[in-house]
Structures are given as C-alpha cells and as structure tokens.
Amino acid sequence: MCLFMVSTSCAQQRELKVLPGAENIQDYLPLLQGKSVGVVGNQSSLVGNQHLIDFLVAKNIKIQRIFSPEHGFRGVADAGEKIKNSKDVKTGISIVSLYGKHFKPSKEEVQDLDIMVFDIQDVGVRFYTYISTLHYVMEICAEQNIPLIVLDRPNPNAHYVDGPLLEKKYASFVGMHPVPVVYGLSIGEYAKMINGEAWLKGSLECDLTVIPCRNWDRNQIYDLPVKPSPNLPNALSVALYPSLCFFEGTPVSAGRGTDSPFQCFGHPKMKNEGYSFTPRSIPGASKYPKFKGKVCYGYDLSKYNLEDFRSRKALDLSFLITAYQQLQGNSKFFNAFFRNLAGTNQLKLQLEKGMSEEEIRESWQEDLSAFKNIRKEYLIYPDWE
C-alpha cells in the first residue's frame, strides 16, 4: 500500500483525488468482519459523505462501542469542555467520552473488543489533543492485546517542521511527547513514532496497522471536508492555528467567539490599528469566550493569502511578539498554560528578554535537526527534504 505513494510522482498525485485511509475500504473491511469492534471517531470520520459508523453498520460490522475525543462525537463541544458518556442517536451505540472523567479507555470499556479502529482528522500540531487521545488508545490496546487500525488522513500542516521541542517536565494532555509544535507527520505516521520511540507506558508496543491515504502529497493544500473542531472553520484557520494558539496561554484573544476564530487576535488594551472585534457567545463553538461583550483591538489575519503564508514553512512569532510588546506592562501576560503549550519555559523567557524572532528560531535548530532525523524513520509518504 505504501509503495503506491512512493511510485507516484508529486505531479501525478495532484491530478488524482486524495483518498483518506477510511476510503480504502478493501484494505481494512476484511480485518473487521466477524469481530467485536471499537471505533474512536468524531464528525471527521467520514467515508465519502457517509459517517464511518453508519458505513460500518451498513456493512454488518459489529460496533460494540464508540469512543469520542475532545469536542465530542459530533464535534460541537467547546475546547476544554468535559463531555459525558452518551449514546449515538442514530444507531443506539454507546459512546464513551475520552474527554470527561478520563482520557484513556478503561480495561472494562475494551475487554469485550476484538479490535479497535481510530479515525480522526488531525491538524499536525502538538497541542491539538487528538494525538494525545491516540496515545492513550494505543496504550490500552497494548495493555489488553487488542490490535489497532489507524485509518490515516492527510495532515494539512505536514509541509514543515518548526517550534521548540517539548521538555518532559512540561508534558500534559496538550503535549505528551518530545516533538516540536509542528511535527510534519500524518496521524498514521505519528502512531508509528509513538510505537517506535517507546513512548507508551512501560515501553509497550501496540499491534498497529496503518491504512494509508492514497494520492496525497504533503506539500499540497488539503481542504478538509469538515471542520476538525469548532474553531477551525477553514484552511486559513488551520494554517494559522500553530502560531496563534500560543495566545491561549496569555490574556490575548485569538478570535474565539467571532466569525473568524484563529484568523485574528486582539485585546481591549492593544493599540487601535483600525481593526476591532467583540467576542460573543457562540454555542457549539465558544460559549464563554475571552472578553465576551468587550471590544478588542488588534489585527485581522482573515485576508492573508493562504499559499503565501504556507510558503513560509514556519511558525509566525511576530503575532506573539507584537502583542507582548504592546501589553508588556501587564505582569500576568503569560499564565502557566503558556508553558504547556510551548512545551518549555524558554520561549516565555526569550520573549521577556526582547529576543527577535530570528534569535528565538535559531535556538530551536539543533533540536529540530535531531527530530527530523528521527522523524524520517516513520514516514509513509514522500518527504519534502
């Protein structure tokens, strides 16, 4: 299956329709027949226009249980909102929340499963929590000797690697592994890395099968068929997210509660540069946004040219530097969550010292070079280097 990708040129790939792993039905359906199946999925788990759950049920696959990540099975819960167990209205199948009482499925929740399927659209950023859910699913599968099938999907930020590496002492659910902020791997490749680098508890190894995408070139713009989460509504927000999500650890708004989340930033005390926004409650996206009902002044990024921004192949720290310089009189600019997002305390200290973007970026290069060498061992698709 991987050879298909290797033997097809990038030019040819762009002319062919990208097929996520879920659409390569012949590669995984025989593995599920006659089995008791668990599915880890959300609104992005599609086979064409049909939800994976509905597709498998129609194929007489016995789905014993559904497991849902942050934002829930239908992807309408706020970031960080705890989600209760429930049932799928359409099929009546029980849904276990992996963003409620626990992040990891319990032994009791998987003991009647023969096999597990993971199918969630990732965006290739360390603090986007679907890879943390993947880790815990792999861990329980390894502990209980349950094979795991990952239906791979294109990573819309797979065209570069950038950012500081996470230090172990800052590990959390928004960053569990020693990888940079943007790691340039599909979720299937990332699963291989979790296994290969022995990151599971006790250095266990999961019985892993990755069903690759077809016709995907990691340099191409991949328009996601559905929003991967409520506040990433389009390709530009997905591209800007790695740079703007740092604001979640500061008093600055990244546009939650507006029509352009992660496509603007601002604060009531920032300079009035001719652009302002007023966050409001948006059920299903941002019920309690930062600065609800208050006018925030800042910068509109929604008119950015997507191709130009992607061509940088780097995080844009100028947003963070600009906001910090304008608000540095605020002694509480950085909260503890900022270190979890950055994966290090160094970025905070560098910004406080007034270091330039170039100086900060230079401090990452040795770690990034080492990571890129490790990363190459787990690639399924042709690389950009």
| Predicted confidence pLDDT, tens digits, the chain (385 residues) | 233 333 344 444 456 899 999 999 999 999 999 999 999 999 999 999 999 999 999 999 999 999 998 766 764 445 556 667 778 888 899 999 998 789 999 999 999 999 999 999 999 999 999 999 999 999 999 999 999 999 999 999 999 999 999 999 999 999 999 999 999 999 999 999 999 999 999 999 999 999 999 999 999 999 899 999 989 999 999 999 999 999 999 999 999 999 999 999 999 999 988 999 999 999 877 889 999 999 999 999 999 999 999 999 999 999 999 999 999 866 689 999 999 999 999 999 999 999 999 999 999 999 999 999 999 999 999 998 7
CB within 8 Å of 72: residues ≥ 6 apart: 42, 83, 97, 99
Q: Per CATH, is 21-211 categorized as 3.40.50.12170? A: yes
User: Tell me, what DSSP letter sits at residue 18?
Assistant: P
Tokens of 234: 């389009």
Q: What is the Cα–Cα distance from 163 to 315, expressed in whole angstroms?
A: 7
**140 to 101, 112, 118, 173, 187: CA distances (angstroms):** 16, 13, 13, 16, 18
> CB 2: neighbour CB atoms within 10 A?
11
How wide is the angle at C-alpha 344 spanned by C-alphas 202 and 380, nearest 5°?
A: 55
Per-residue pLDDT, 329:
67
Instruction: Tell me the CA distances in angstroms from 228 to 49, 70, 119, 277, 291, one per residue in order.
Output: 15, 11, 12, 24, 25
300: amino acid identity, one letter: D
Give yes or no for a contact between 63 and 73, defined as CB atoms under 8 angstroms apart. Answer: no
Where in the chain do CATH 3.40.50.12170 domains reside? 21-211
Confidence at residue 74, expressed as pLDDT on a 0 to 100 scale: 65
Tokens describing residue 121: 């659209």
Residue type (1 letter), 288: Y
Residue type, 291: F
DSSP letter, residue 155: -
What local confidence, expressed as pLDDT, does residue 78 receive?
55
